[in-house]
Structure 1
Amino acid sequence: MYIPSQYKNEDLAEVKDFISSNSFAILINELQGKPWATHTPLELDKDDQGNDILIGHIARANPQWKAFETKPEVLCVFNGPHTYVSSSWYKEEEVPTWNYIAVHIYGTLSIMSESEVLSWLHGLVAHYEKEEKTPVSLKDMSPATLKQVRGVVGFRIKINEIQAAYKLSQGREEDHARIIHELHHKKDAGSLQVSHIMKKRGTKDS
């Protein structure tokens, strides 16, 4: 991904928090000579050696997985909040722009066994169900229901490179207060989230 130097975020802890909070990603590889993409949760985890990895699954009916063994190199795209920024908020004349956060991860994929997938899904469901009023658990489901696991392909992704773009009006610090104020009064979620992030980061990127 093209990232101007002032927008590059190399704070690994912050980037990992972003990935964990925006885990519904786009998994991209090559299938039959064309790019193929699937929208799917990709969870940040660790392997047996303590290295950061991604774990996920797609439907077995999705032909994307058929290229995993022969072409295991994949690109994972994590999108964050984004918003239009009007140059009418600037002290000096300039063109409008767009603020956003995005993370790309390049990695090498390996397919998990059915038992590994089932074990991982137990933990995944427990993680997302813990806030529900009547949480469900795979432990309570019948063998017939659990047979659906055979309908997915689970995988791990060894992380080879992380690229993080945090475009948050760097270089226009004198206008940050106005930008934050204007975004805060917008109605869309992207504007509100970007406003909050810019305020929280303060002068970090100045």
Structure 2
Amino acid sequence: MYVPKTFAQDDPATLHGFIEQTPLAMLVTQGEQGLLASHLPLLLVRDEGEYGTLYGHFARANPQWRVLQGGDEALVVFQGANAYVSPSFYPAKAEHGKVVPTWNYQAVHAYGRAEVFDEGERLLALVSALSDHHEQGRERPWAVSDAPREYLDSMLRAIVGFALPISRLQGQFKLSQNKDAANFHGVQQGLQRSERPGDQHLAQVMASLTS
């Protein structure tokens, strides 16, 4: 990912927090079938490996797990909120008109080589951890153990798990940091007035940069 220095985010704790808040990732590989991409909910274990380890699973029918099994490097993309930035947001538009549209966004890229596994008990531990993570905070959280074991065993036979130790971690938080204070706040206020929740969320993220 091309990351201009102005927008680079390289603090591991910040990047880990972003991954945990954006768990549905796109996993991209290059193999004999060409480029393949799958959208998968992933679980980050921060203290495994230099940059943490990502855990997830594929449907066994998905051929992409076989590419991972070959040991080639994979790219995992975590895409956060994003928003169109209109030139009308900038006070500079009224001053000289030398403004153009752009797009603000947050994205994290993780790279690594995965270990693939399909042992029943290890898969059970994985899906249990994923479910517990996403069910937390609910009034009556569902647990994998709520389902009949025979049913679970049949479902586990239909998936393949993987552990991907992160070898490289990149972050780009493009939030108008390259603009002066007046134009930065113009963008923040313009997004805050939007009816789109994603725009409003990005405005809040921008506000945190100046708080």
Higher strand share: 1
Rate the CA distance shift 1:33–1:63 in 2: closer, same or farther, 3 A: closer
The answer to whether the aligner puts 1:102 opposite 2:107 as a matched pair is: yes
**Kept in 2: contact 1:85–1:179 (CA 8 A):** yes
Where do 5+ consecutive residues of structure 2 fail to align? 93-97
For 2:165, which of 146, 158, 161 is the aligned residue? 158
Mapping for residues 140-155 of structure 1, pairs under 5 Å: 140-147=146-153, 148-155=155-162
Q: Which amino acid is the alignment partner of residue 196 of structure 2? A: D
1:201 CA displacement:
1.4
1:23 CA displacement:
0.9
Aligned equivalent of 1:184: 192
Mapping for residues 36-185 of structure 1, pairs under 5 Å: 36-46=36-46, 52-92=52-92, 93-112=98-117, 113-147=119-153, 148-174=155-181, 175-185=183-193
1:47 CA displacement:
6.2
Identity %: 33
Rate the CA distance shift 1:33–1:140 in 2: closer, same or farther, 3 A: closer
In the alignment, the residues of structure 1 paired with residue 50 and residue 3 of structure 2 have an alpha-carbon distance, to the nearest angstrom, of 29
1:33 CA displacement:
4.1
Q: Which amino acid is the alignment partner of residue 30 of structure 1? A: Q
The DSSP-based 3-state class of the residue aligned with 1:172 is coil
In the alignment, the residues of structure 1 paired with residue 130 and residue 108 of structure 2 have an alpha-carbon distance, to the nearest angstrom, of 22
Where do 5+ consecutive residues of structure 1 fail to align? none
Q: Which amino acid is the alignment partner of residue 63 of structure 2? A: P
**Kept in 2: contact 1:184–1:192 (CA 8 A):** yes
The root-mean-square deviation of aligned C-alpha atoms, in Å, is 1.8
* TM-score, normalisation: structure 1: 0.91
In the alignment, the residues of structure 2 paired with residue 88 and residue 75 of structure 1 have an alpha-carbon distance, to the nearest angstrom, of 36
**Kept in 2: contact 1:42–1:54 (CA 8 A):** yes
Q: Which amino acid is the alignment partner of residue 200 of structure 2? A: L
**Kept in 2: contact 1:9–1:15 (CA 8 A):** yes
More displaced stretch, 14-23 vs 194-203: 194-203
* TM-score, normalisation: structure 2: 0.89
1:158 CA displacement:
1.0
1:183 CA displacement:
0.6
**Kept in 1: contact 2:84–2:104 (CA 8 A):** yes
CA deviations on 1:139-166 (whole Å, 9 max, x unpaired) are 2321221120111111100111011111
Segments ≥4 residues shifted beyond 6 Å: none
**Kept in 2: contact 1:72–1:110 (CA 8 A):** no
The size of the alignment, in residue pairs, is: 203
In the alignment, the residues of structure 1 paired with residue 84 and residue 24 of structure 2 have an alpha-carbon distance, to the nearest angstrom, of 22
More displaced stretch, 70-79 vs 153-162: 70-79
In the alignment, the residues of structure 1 paired with residue 201 and residue 3 of structure 2 have an alpha-carbon distance, to the nearest angstrom, of 21
**Kept in 2: contact 1:81–1:101 (CA 8 A):** yes
Rate the CA distance shift 1:164–1:50 in 2: closer, same or farther, 3 A: closer
**Kept in 2: contact 1:57–1:152 (CA 8 A):** yes
1:50 CA displacement:
7.8
In the alignment, the residues of structure 1 paired with residue 48 and residue 14 of structure 2 have an alpha-carbon distance, to the nearest angstrom, of 23
CA deviations on 1:27-74 (whole Å, 9 max, x unpaired) are 111232400000001211146668611001110011111222224311
